[in-house]
Structure 1
Amino acid sequence: MKNNHTLIIGGGIVGATLALKLAQAKHPVTLIDARPKRNQADWEQVLNNRDARVYALSLASIGLLKEAGAWQKIASSGRKADYSQMQVWQRNGIGELLFGENDSSNDNSNDSAKPEMLGSMVEPLVIEYALWQRFFEPDVSDYLTVIDGHKVVQMDWLGSQQGYRVTLDDGTAIQAALLIGADGRGSFVRKQAGIELDTLDYKQTAICCAIQTAKPHRATARQAMLPTGTLALLPLADITDEDKARPQHWQSVVWTLPRNQALSLLEEDARVIADKLAAASTYELGAIDKVESIASFPLAAQQAKSYVADNLVLIGDAAHGVHPLAGQGLNLGMLDVKELFEQLTHDFARSGGTLWGANQTLRTYERLRRPHNSLMMHSFSLLNWLFAGELAQLRPIQIIRNEGMYRVSKIRPLMRLFAKQASGV
């Protein structure tokens, strides 16, 4: 076994991106994905349908996918919806935040210039398919081994010099100097390593669906801050000939509600849900003509008390999970990938090829990422508290909130800073 062999458990977007980056740098890596194996025909079948969910990819995440060779495939597929503006408003309040270059208050704006892209909305399966295609290309295939359709059932630490041996459900044993947990919120790796969680249950449920609206979205990501929770209207790619003949009318919805209210609404007919959704958005994009793929998920924040142990490190949702109101969950995971890759390869080169996944390397990664992720988690929780729930409707809180949004909306340098932070660059 080479001293820089790495085993990544979890073949989602975060784990697959890191695997590609390592393989590109000629570091041997094995990626284990418990989900069933897919061939080309399987991918074509699942991609025929529109997914109600999208990831709001920041410029930093797009840049990382470009480096991994996946973004080029996403762009050529046409299954992305770039956005150049973000609009945030609250009901029964003053102040609206509008981020982007289409802002008429920008005195130097050129109406004929193409608006600057802030990010792109992409369906999860579209990203995963692009990453899957890259697994078989010659610049990575010699260094990347992918095992899908099998679960890890046992992890054994063999000491700092040897790392971990993991056993799969078919009895296969794999040994690696470094074990990376990228296996989501319920991370098996985290649990087996004995790493505890700090959690916060918002007692909210998010309803998500795809909707076709009467008005076009005009490359704008919208978010209404409602007393019941946030309502996000996010551009979706036009995938059918009918869509392209009438472009920019499909949106992905993430509607946060108190849990009991959400569960009650989910029992209603789709048409009723669509009408209530349009009313909740104050008909910002007009009536809702069609609704598809209604689903829901409970909302909670969590943070691993440690991101690292001997020969082991957590990334993405295995390490942290945040409220979806700012759409930054995946982007934080992609920043984990960028930082961990840089620290691993930097220390490997600096040591002359002898250090791989050493404790000092992993601790540096944790020191750089955990405080930032923690700040984001608590910031999103604070925003949720300021707008949703009983306390948020008290008059003093409303006054502070209204005045804050109004003042911030008038400070252009601050608005540009917020937009830059959201882009991750």
Structure 2
Amino acid sequence: MQTLKPMPTQLDVDIAIVGGAMTGVTLALALRQRCPQLSVALIERAPLAPSTEPCESQVQSGFDARVIALNLHTQRRLERDSIWPALQHQGCAIETIHVSDQGHGGMVSLNPQCGQRQHGWVMALSDVQKALVPMLAERGVRCFAPATICQMQAIEQGHQLQLADGTLLTTRLLVGADGTQSQVAQHLGLQNQVLDLQQSAIIANIACQLPHHGCAFERFTAQGPVALLPMQSSAETLAVGGQGQMSLVWCLPPEQAMTFQQLPENEFLQALQHAFGWRLGRFLKVGTRHSYPLNRHHQPLLVGHHGVLVGNAAQTLHPIAGQGFNLGLRDVDTLVDVIAKHHAIFGSNALGSTAQLADYAARRAPDRQQLLSGTVGLLQLFRQTSWPMVLGRQLGLMLASHCAPLRQHIQQLGQGIKAGPQEEQQ
């Protein structure tokens, strides 16, 4: 007797989000909060729930040992979508930002303005995952994880996605939140532009002798910027007598980064001490070091046939100034606003329409361009070693230190309060 094969599951949804890292998860939650009449599916290739049996070879999801810096603008958006309450106790507040130029006298300390107590927050992505993933089920997001997309096919009013388990998913709007090497972008025929920044980043956790008092440091060196972000101290930091723990992002030429990545712990800490200085006392311990190349990825076109890109699928920035995720969340917020606005005016037929997607792309253009060019420009500025450029940098830092209006303007940009003319209208 022939065994009948089970029929594949077929599911129709209004919006399918590919990518279950923080950008994809926050988009799904925000859509269900502001557009509850629309059905949402989230597809992620790795497990969303943390494994109870850790394994070195286990595929990690978009939430891992890295940290993110969330500015005040991002916090307000998360509050509007009732996401912030799940996160507000997960991170460490950034109460001061200290910017300096190695080997030169110019420096500036930025304190919160306008009655704020902090510039933003630093959070471990693993903690964010634990806080946000349970909310997906609570808000009715249909999750497929771990799941692999075997095939994508454009249809007249959307797309069909064939999953490895046989599920056939039909959607009117396909969203790529699947990172720099976006499968959705390739399917939509969108071409990624890559700028080699000739640097690599070493990221790790550092145990420090002195407490950080909520201060984030950005120190520019001839080799590249060194960023240290305040974190809540772990048991490992306390065990070695440390009073503060920092998240390190150290940008270096690729060959030097490879050399430093392989140094014994004490030699690595000595090299970092030389680059950074002693404002945090002695560096006592470094956690597992990770290294990755720094390239600027940019999608000139954000939209295609019933499809759109957000977050790192749309653009990936150099980590200087720590604005990458904040920019991606503004993608998310604008997309949800546009979807809600068009649905209220035109009904369900507006989803994925040319007018809707063009509206999204136009509203994101000024903000994206400002940060895409600004981060590269800032990186190039602090790479220059000629005395006129060095003198200009020092005068700029000194002016920012003593001129309150200029300092406030810089702080507002860092906090995301001035995010471009289109964003201010939202």
TM-score range, shorter chain: 0.7 to 0.9
Listed as ranges, the gaps of 5+ residues in structure 2 are 1-9, 418-426
Could you say which residue in structure 1 is the equivalent of 2:23?
14
CA distance 1:190–1:241, shift in 2 (3 Å): closer
Q: Does 1:86 align with 2:86?
A: no
RMSD of the alignment, in Å? 2.7
Contact map agreement 2:11 2:169 (CA 8 A) in 1: no
Contact map agreement 1:4 1:356 (CA 8 A) in 2: no
Could you say which residue in structure 1 is the equivalent of 2:39?
28
The aligned amino acid for 1:299 is L
The aligned amino acid for 2:101 is Q
Which one is further off, 293-302 or 399-408? 399-408
CA distance 1:235–1:163, shift in 2 (3 Å): same
Query: Of the candidates 385, 410, 413, which is equivalent to residue 402 of structure 2?
Result: 410
Could you say which residue in structure 2 is the equivalent of 1:105?
none
Alpha-carbon separation, structure 1, partners of 2:274 and 2:75: 34
Could you say which residue in structure 2 is the equivalent of 1:147?
144
Could you say which residue in structure 1 is the equivalent of 2:249?
254
Could you say which residue in structure 2 is the equivalent of 1:127?
128
Contact map agreement 1:35 1:148 (CA 8 A) in 2: yes
Alpha-carbon separation, structure 2, partners of 1:54 and 1:385: 25
Contact map agreement 1:58 1:422 (CA 8 A) in 2: yes
**For each residue in 1:379-419, what CA deviation from the matched residue of structure 2 results, as whole angstroms up to 9, or x when unmatched?**
1111111112xxx1122221222222222322211211221
Contact map agreement 1:52 1:208 (CA 8 A) in 2: no
Contact map agreement 2:108 2:401 (CA 8 A) in 1: yes
Alpha-carbon separation, structure 2, partners of 1:18 and 1:302: 21
Contact map agreement 2:223 2:252 (CA 8 A) in 1: yes
Alpha-carbon separation, structure 2, partners of 1:372 and 1:246: 44
CA distance 1:373–1:173, shift in 2 (3 Å): same
Number of residue pairs matched? 401
Could you say which residue in structure 2 is the equivalent of 1:118?
119
* 1:235-250 correspondence runs (5 A): 235-240=230-235, 243=238, 249-250=244-245
* 1:220-369 correspondence runs (5 A): 220-240=215-235, 243=238, 249-369=244-364
Could you say which residue in structure 2 is the equivalent of 1:378?
373
Alpha-carbon separation, structure 2, partners of 1:387 and 1:39: 40
Alpha-carbon separation, structure 1, partners of 2:362 and 2:271: 45
Contact map agreement 1:19 1:31 (CA 8 A) in 2: yes
The aligned amino acid for 1:387 is F
The aligned amino acid for 1:410 is H
Q: Does 1:397 align with 2:389?
A: yes
Alpha-carbon separation, structure 2, partners of 1:283 and 1:152: 50
Contact map agreement 1:204 1:298 (CA 8 A) in 2: yes
CA distance 1:290–1:311, shift in 2 (3 Å): same
Could you say which residue in structure 2 is the equivalent of 1:106?
none
The aligned amino acid for 2:133 is W
Could you say which residue in structure 1 is the equivalent of 2:192?
197
Shift of 1:216: 1.0
The aligned amino acid for 2:27 is L
Which one is further off, 249-258 or 395-404? 395-404
Contact map agreement 1:195 1:306 (CA 8 A) in 2: yes
Could you say which residue in structure 1 is the equivalent of 2:85?
72
Alpha-carbon separation, structure 2, partners of 1:242 and 1:92: 29
Contact map agreement 1:90 1:224 (CA 8 A) in 2: yes
Shift of 1:337: 0.5
CA distance 1:100–1:273, shift in 2 (3 Å): same
The aligned amino acid for 1:286 is G
Contact map agreement 2:176 2:185 (CA 8 A) in 1: yes
Contact map agreement 1:52 1:293 (CA 8 A) in 2: no
Tell me which stretches of 4 or more aligned residues in structure 1 moved more than 6 Å.
Answer: 1-4, 244-247
Alpha-carbon separation, structure 2, partners of 1:311 and 1:357: 4
| Counterpart secondary structure, 1:351 | helix
The aligned amino acid for 1:224 is R
Shift of 1:358: 1.6
Alpha-carbon separation, structure 2, partners of 1:265 and 1:132: 36
Shift of 1:193: 1.2
